[in-house]
Amino acid sequence: MKALRQIIIATVMLSLVGCSVSVPAISSAKAYRYSGGSSIAEWNLTALQCEALNTWIVQNSEGWTPSPVSWAPGLIVYMTHSDSSQGSLNILKAQVVLVHEGDQFTRDFSADQITALRQLLEQHDGQPAAPP
């Protein structure tokens, strides 16, 4: 019983420690903005946006936590990587959820960081993405 308790404590402690994420370069991506559970806009990311998102992921690779829960959609970017693997990034109000190869991670970000990421992704031909 004591050994089981120690295993549980060790597991909880490890889950509280942030981990590093690494994904292959993004070759293409499509973004969807949701409101009330419905998609209200969609657009393809440009090559420059994919490159900027690659940079953002590399710069923010530390501090992610594995997450088994489902998340309501916010601004979701579905990514195809250079090795043909698939992933997604769900940008919420104060968190980002990264999914790659069946693994899901979350990380908290400040309101300013979330705003900057949204602005990067919501630009389309130099203008904010319009609803379809």
Tell me the pLDDT tens digit for each residue of 80-98.
Answer: 999 999 999 999 999 999 9
> Chain centroid to CA 6: how far?
32
**CATH number of the domain where residue 36 is located:** 2.60.40
* Residue 123, pLDDT score: 80
Report the percent of the chain where pLDDT is more than 70: 80
Domain of 36? Answer: 2-128
pLDDT tier for residue 17 given thresholds of 50, 70 and 90? low
Total number of domains in the chain = 1
Average pLDDT, the chain: 86
